[in-house]
Structure 1
Amino acid sequence: MLGSIGTFFAERFRRWLPDSYIFALILTLIAAVWALFAVDVGPVKIAEAWYKGFWILLKFAMQMVLILVTGYAIAISPIASRFIDWIASRIKSPVWVYASVIFVGQIFSMVSWGWIVLTAVLARELSTRVKGVDYRLVAAAVYASFLPWHGGLSGSIPLVLNTPENFLIKADVLTEIIPTTLTLGSPMNIVINLALLFTLPMLFMMMRPSEDKLQTFDDLREGDAPTKPMTVEEEADSLCLPDKCISDMLNASWIISGLVVIMGLYIIVSHFYSKGFDINLNIMNFLFIILGMMAHKTPIRYVVAMKRACSNVSGIILQFPFYAGIMGIMIYTGLGKQVATSLAAATSPGSFPFVAFLTGGLLNIFVPSGGGEWAVVGQPIVEAAKTVAANTGMTAEATQAFIAKVSMSVGYGDSWTNMIQPFWTLAFFPIVAAGSSLQARDIMGYTFVAMLWSLIIFGLGVTFLPM
């Protein structure tokens, strides 16, 4: 029954929701009109505020791009392929395919949101090796494994908060960074992630269809399409000239990459040795770049991997300036402070995290990017959290923890409604759906059920669990 309900809503969302870029434009107009009537400013000042903000997230946008492509590049490396083969060789039953894909996939997502690609490879391998696997359900498990990503090492909001000179500090919304010990390392985040990790596999095992309704990979396969695409190594080798030459020798030189990797490892070890569990966007991106170089060994293989990874970043590059423009309207017209004041007046320390969660979930339908969404609501949400904390007499330390909790709640909301917003299927569908007739709407009914279940976990977590 839940699967049928999910399919019903998924079909309607597919019909009603245009491309996410359209929503970036619509939200820009909404913010402009809102400021025109809610704040004492004219159209000229609104336009100037929009343009002033348009460029303030260029660094942040590049950091988001690198988080995705560097994680993706590692996920398609030979060492990752061998690891997937090792896992796949040990799973023989369809029911364990569903459980394993979503369990392992959640762990991958906690490392990097770009590693959903690795989960897609695992799902495809298992579905072609084990008979009786419903390919729609296993593809849905890949997407549902994305649910804990914002509480993981590549979560946009906690990494932004811990990055020096982030856009909230530059806008004087925050005076200092908020360490990851208060976000990623908090009891709330740990309990929520563990609850998702162990309950989602059971949920997907219970959703498996009966044999008469199975649709395997072979059922969805189109013609004689290959089950495996060309590997990075094979593509790199195909670029070599027929005869030996200096350019190919340099492209394939593991010594050049190795020397740079050694230098990079020194920086990484020094950072964590001196600063402990201090993870921000810069060090995560640098870590993934160095690991990617190690995983692919030669420069040309890493170039090929990054080229493949960059095919998924067009949405970020196009839309982030418009998110920044919305942020500019919020900051430079005073609209953001007014929104923050209204939120603070209508909520309490106990209810505000759940309100922030719902806000993140609603906005994610229109702005399907954790980083982009935070650019839009980060300023008013943090301002409101500060006001609520001040009204209730919180200490500076308690205020910082409260801001961390509210910010993470927005991140959970973003992860939550991904299950009915198919935007990020773009990140893994080129792998999981290659050579088949599988479409995003084929999986959204199952992910809707996952969304209903995760609402309980997220809702109880942000409301009752301590930071």
Structure 2
Amino acid sequence: MTAQTEKALKDLPPEREGAMVRVAIGFTAWAERWFPDAFIFVVIAVIIVAAGALINGASPLDTSVAFGNGFWSLITFTMQMAFVVIGGYVVATSAPAAGLIRRLAAAPKSGIAAVGMVAAVALFASLLNWGLSLVFSGLLVLALAKRRELKMDYRAAGGAAYLGLGSVWALGLSSSAAQLQANAGSLPKALLPITGVIPFTETIFLWQSMVVAAIIIAVAIAIAFLSAPGPDHALTAEAMGIDVSASDVNEIAPPSQPGEWLEHSPILTVLIVLLALGWIIHEFSRQSAMVAISNLNTYNFIFIMVGLLLHWRPRRFLDAVKKAVPATAGVLIQFPFYGGIAAILTQPKNGAGLTVSDQIAHAFVSLTTQHTYPLAIGLYSSILGFFVPSGGGKWLLEAPYLMQAANDLKVNLGWAVQVYNAAEALPNLINPFWMLPLLGVLGLKARNIVGFTFLQLIVMLPLTLFLLWAFAYTLPYHPPVIPT
């Protein structure tokens, strides 16, 4: 932002922001100054886990071999998660999506209503794809900000656009933990005997999980609506010196050479989409829709093909992909390290035949009961998620001991996954890492929106933990199902 914007924020009178918002902004400013890049956290985690294996009694050679063997063990899953980002971005930046955004932006009659609508869009879109939610919601905020008569608080709208990733995304179709557990081919070999395959019908499509998601969505929208400043106190994009006048459709130059003709023609797009449609129909006709969509390859395939169709011309599609790729950098470099960490946790054994994962699982079992497990794991996941902002990737590190503890305590394994999912999203509300794609779209800094998201966290943390604990009583334990 400009120096004038910085000064405008500092000069805001105290009554324009509550004490809670100011504390949250101060906290995030501290985090932005002192917290290293998320990759540094992953590297530190490798060192700590390796040291833990040595302290547990494993040999240095076994520890080193486990790290190297595990490093590429998740390469398939790494690419799958990268394509979740790419697919969501490509769909969100297509011309039809831009048209939908313009229609949505024309609906609200006030700035407060606009913030509430952004929250609803972000939350529901995140159930389909968290990448789609971030980009689409951010573009919607830009479109609303062009309507100066609304006097919409730009910061509150930015915070609302982030709510999907900070609440329910992990309870939806792009949940990496649920997707991983539903696909035997994606599961690390060390994890498969502990958890078995857990289909979507026992995780995100449990009625308990859908009720939890519905309650969280309703409460999050209400908080966003009630916390949005009115027209007299709203800080608009214009007041912050942010230009929102740019076109919402990416313009491409016409072909300059004969060889570029096909790049600008829809002929290839139509043929490829028709070819893909045959495969999609085949996949959904030979099995239930839940089984089909729980295959991460099928999920990503549909998003990529829809994105290609919506962009219509290959050149537009390729330009969108190029813009999406930088957002996948964290996934591409961090997930191999997660694979190495998971291997160190589960492979090197001490003289008694116990791994670090075994020791942590025993600790959880000794400190919790069947009924306190959801509370303990939910709180643990929330705290660790602030320090390791993985977007679901740290499930690979923690699943071996968390699910072993669930087995030992006779906790429903599908619900254990959902406990982790619901709690893991919460720290995103105050962690700047996953805000970056959205902030890039909006031209904001994390401290501009975290006051509003911090307010969400204060309400959501106890509410979510209570719901996870209460619904655990309704689900019986079933031993893991190991595919033959």
- The two structures share one fold, judged by TM-score above 0.5: yes
Amino acid at match of 2:154: Y
Contact 2:423 / 2:465 at 8 angstroms: preserved in 1?
no
Partner of 1:442: 448
- 1:165 maps to 2:185: yes
**1:140-159 equivalences in 2 (<5 Å):** 140-146=159-165, 147-159=167-179
Counterpart-to-counterpart distance in 2, 1:119 and 1:126? 10
**1:28-427 equivalences in 2 (<5 Å):** 28-37=46-55, 39-115=56-132, 116-129=134-147, 130-146=149-165, 147-169=167-189, 171-174=191-194, 176-209=196-229, 211=231, 213-222=233-242, 225=243, 227-229=245-247, 231-232=249-250, 234=251, 237-238=252-253, 240-241=255-256, 245=258, 247-276=259-288, 277-278=290-291, 279-333=294-348, 334-389=355-410, 402-427=412-437
Question: Deviation at 1:372?
Answer: 1.8
Question: Deviation at 1:170?
Answer: 5.7
Partner of 2:351: none
Amino acid at match of 1:368: P
User: Which of the two has greater helix per residue?
Assistant: 1
Aligned CA distance change for structure 1 residues 405 and 75 (closer, same or farther; 3 Å):
same
Amino acid at match of 2:426: W
Amino acid at match of 1:20: A
Aligned CA distance change for structure 1 residues 461 and 272 (closer, same or farther; 3 Å):
farther
Amino acid at match of 1:131: L
Question: Deviation at 1:167?
Answer: 2.2
Counterpart-to-counterpart distance in 2, 1:365 and 1:89? 36
Aligned CA distance change for structure 1 residues 229 and 315 (closer, same or farther; 3 Å):
farther
Question: Deviation at 1:204?
Answer: 1.5
Partner of 2:37: 19
Contact 1:121 / 1:431 at 8 angstroms: preserved in 2?
yes
Counterpart-to-counterpart distance in 2, 1:122 and 1:2? 27
Aligned CA distance change for structure 1 residues 372 and 280 (closer, same or farther; 3 Å):
same
Partner of 1:451: 457
Unaligned residue ranges in structure 1 (runs of 5+): 390-398
Tell me the number of residue pairs that the alignment of Structure 1 and Structure 2 aligns: 443
Question: Deviation at 1:346?
Answer: 1.8
Contact 1:168 / 1:174 at 8 angstroms: preserved in 2?
no
TM-score when scaled to structure 1? 0.90
| Alignment root-mean-square deviation, CA | 1.8
Contact 2:91 / 2:307 at 8 angstroms: preserved in 1?
yes
Deviates more, 1:378-387 or 1:12-21: 12-21
Amino acid at match of 2:318: V
Question: Deviation at 1:240?
Answer: 2.5
Amino acid at match of 2:240: L
Counterpart-to-counterpart distance in 2, 1:343 and 1:270? 44
Counterpart-to-counterpart distance in 2, 1:453 and 1:35? 38
Amino acid at match of 2:375: F
Deviates more, 1:134-143 or 1:258-267: 258-267
TM-score when scaled to structure 2? 0.87
Identity among equivalent pairs (%): 27
Aligned CA distance change for structure 1 residues 262 and 457 (closer, same or farther; 3 Å):
farther
1:112-154: CA deviation from partner (whole Å, max 9, x where unpaired): 0011100101111112214311111111111123221001111
Unaligned residue ranges in structure 2 (runs of 5+): 1-18, 349-354, 476-484
